[in-house]
Amino acid sequence: MKKILALVLALAMVATFAACGKDAASSTDNDATAEYKLGMGVVVSLDSSADANAEKGTDAVAQADSTVATVVLDKDGKVVAADLDCAQTKVSVDKNGKVTVDGVDLRTKKEKKEDYGMKGASPIGKEWYEQAAAFVEKMVGKTAADIEAITTEEKNGHQVATDADLYAACTMDITAFKAAFVAACKDAQAKTFTAAEGFKLGLDVETNVAGSTDATQDKNAVVQLYSTFGAIVVDKDGKTLAAIVDEVQPKVEVAKGKIEKKDYKDTKRGLKEGYNMVTYSAPGTCIAEWYVQAKDLTDYIAKKAMTADQIKAIATADTRNDGYMRPTDADLAAVCTIQISSYQTALANAISNAK
């Protein structure tokens, strides 16, 4: 009888240990998720805009180089995933103030791939997109301070990396790359999310110059070089974990073949209240500043764990008969009354680009 009782107790103990072991395994599985931050940084230069040149027979050119970096940081502030791109947009203006927007190539440098045409002039025989990808790879594992500390030297008018390994992979000017990465790592409006391994990060840039205007008798030509940026993190099923949208609105004013004025202050997110959307909107029509509504839009998308198709399918309508397509879903419309079509496109495309 004692032997039977001892056997029963032993089996009970084994069962107890087995149950404890199962709970431990479940806890380990839960521990596989971790907290991360998604950030974005944008650097814009209008310095390459140029006056008309009569000797060369060239028109004035308004140019914006909008470099964007997006990063995912771990709890220690180290980059675990990143992406980089640049919208280099050029629009010519003739001596009469006629702006030529037809035929402008709105692809980013990464999207142009071999069409960008850097390989022939590159000392390592690599295109822009290849060198940018190598630069991104070198940033993984670094903090904002590490990236800030990357030293450069002047070569042929460009600030290139002094580190031999980095320069062997990327011989381009990295000034804007560094600045965009540091801004992304220090993003005060970064999105926090929790995820298991296997998530993907995507980036997209959409550029529009259609708002540019020709010169008139009393006004100079104005070239609008607008870009929308979408960064998104998705899980293995393509469902949104976190997202950011931002926009830049650089403008270049041209008078009789000369660059008269270059106007750019910051991104819409960076300007915050300085964007003045509330101030200049009709009374009662604007519920919050742009950066607040953009945040609420991307929070809504993440909360719903939307896929690319679901983001594209967010219903909109011209609810105020003013030409702007606003969300019609009651919950979203309560926090976001801005036109969202460009943000839908950028975020859906970012998912397609995610890796």
Per-residue model confidence (pLDDT) at position 207: 98
Flag whether pLDDT at 307 surpasses 80: yes
How many CB atoms are located within 10 Å of the residue 11 CB?
10
Q: How far apart are alpha carbons 8 and 222 in whole angstroms?
A: 88
Give the percent of the chain with pLDDT over 90.
86
Mean per-residue pLDDT for 231-256? 98
Radius of gyration for the chain, computed over Cα atoms and rounded to the nearest angstrom: 25
Is residue 55 assigned to a domain?
A: yes
Q: What pLDDT does 311 receive?
A: 98
Provide the pLDDT for residue 280. 87
Higher pLDDT, 59 or 13: 59
pLDDT for res 3 = 41
Place of tokens 């008269």: 260
Tell which residue, 343, 266, 260, has the closest CA to residue 308.
343
HSE-up (13 A, CA, CB side) for residue 343: 26
Q: Residues 117-122: what's their mean pLDDT?
A: 93
**Residue owning tokens 């850097």:** 118
pLDDT band for position 21 (50/70/90)?
very low
Residue 315 lies inside a defined structural domain of this protein: no
pTM: predicted TM-score of the whole model, two decimal places = 0.90
What contacts 24+ positions apart, CB below 8 Å, involve 184-187?
A: 184/39, 184/40, 184/41, 184/69, 184/70, 184/71, 184/82, 185/39, 185/41, 185/71, 185/73, 185/77, 185/79, 185/143, 185/144, 185/147, 186/39, 186/41, 186/144, 187/37, 187/39, 187/40, 187/41
pLDDT band at 287 (very low <50, low <70, confident <90, very high): very high
pLDDT of residue 282: 82
In whole numbers, what is the pLDDT of the chain averaged over residues? Answer: 91
Report the range of poorest mean pLDDT among 18-32, 57-71, 82-96, 98-112. Answer: 18-32
Instruction: Determine, yes or no, domain membership for 211.
Output: yes
Q: Residue 73: inside a domain, yes or no? A: yes
Q: Could you give the number of structural domains in the chain?
A: 1
Note the pLDDT of residue 1.
41
Assigned domain for 203 exists:
yes
Q: Is residue 306 part of a domain?
A: no
Res 12: pLDDT: 43
Domain encompassing residue 92: 34-262
